[in-house]
Amino acid sequence: MAKSKLGFDLTPPSKEQIDQLAARLDPEARRILLNHGTEPPFCGKFDEYEDEGIYTCALCALPLFNSRAKFHSGSGWPSFYESIGEGHIHYLRDVSHGMVRTEIRCGRCDAHLGHVFDDGPRPTGQRYCMNSVAMDFVPEGQALPDLLQRDDPVQVKI
């Protein structure tokens, strides 16, 4: 089993598990997470969201961002200056749409999340530009979900 430095299981789900997880998504979430789509700007539920907690992958529930790393970029999409931990996000070169960008995907299930750019605030200078439908939110103090129902779920406090 592959674990992140924070103790989360990064073992990719099986095809059957992905299919089960995807079955609970609405068509727009499926389009974005599974087919690398993008939601329109200024319409996502988390663009102006202010509560404290953890943003998780909408497909497999892997923690992605702490709300303390969120900032208002003015881009129309929720933005963060750092991910929650090494291994929780994969980075891929994206040359679609006639430009070079860095696509970000979930470090466990490989779902499309958004893109990262080098125009963010200090201390990282990064702007993780996320699709709201690619994330769920767990309020501070609540247990993180275990959607994969693995034998040894990790209950890590972040």
Catalytic member of 58, 59, 116, 129: 129
Q: What is the pLDDT along the chain (158 residues), one digit of tens a residue?
A: 788 888 899 999 999 999 999 999 999 999 999 999 999 999 999 999 999 999 999 999 999 999 999 999 999 999 999 999 999 999 998 877 677 889 999 999 999 999 999 999 999 999 999 999 999 999 998 888 878 765 554 555 55
Domains of the chain: 15-139 (2.170.150.20)
> Would the annotation count 109 as a binding residue?
yes
> Would the annotation count 60 as a binding residue?
yes
Residue 43 annotated in active site: no
> Would the annotation count 43 as a binding residue?
no
User: What pLDDT is recorded for position 24?
Assistant: 93
How far apart CA 129 and CA 150 sit, in angstroms, is: 30
User: What pLDDT is recorded for position 68?
Assistant: 96
Report the greatest alpha carbon distance in the chain.
44
> Mapping DSSP to helix (H, G, I), strand (E, B) and coil, where does residue 32 land?
helix
Q: How many CB atoms lie within 10 A of CB 50?
A: 8
User: What pLDDT is recorded for position 14?
Assistant: 93
For the entire predicted model, the pTM comes to 0.91
> Would the annotation count 57 as a binding residue?
yes
User: What pLDDT is recorded for position 37?
Assistant: 92
User: What pLDDT is recorded for position 127?
Assistant: 97
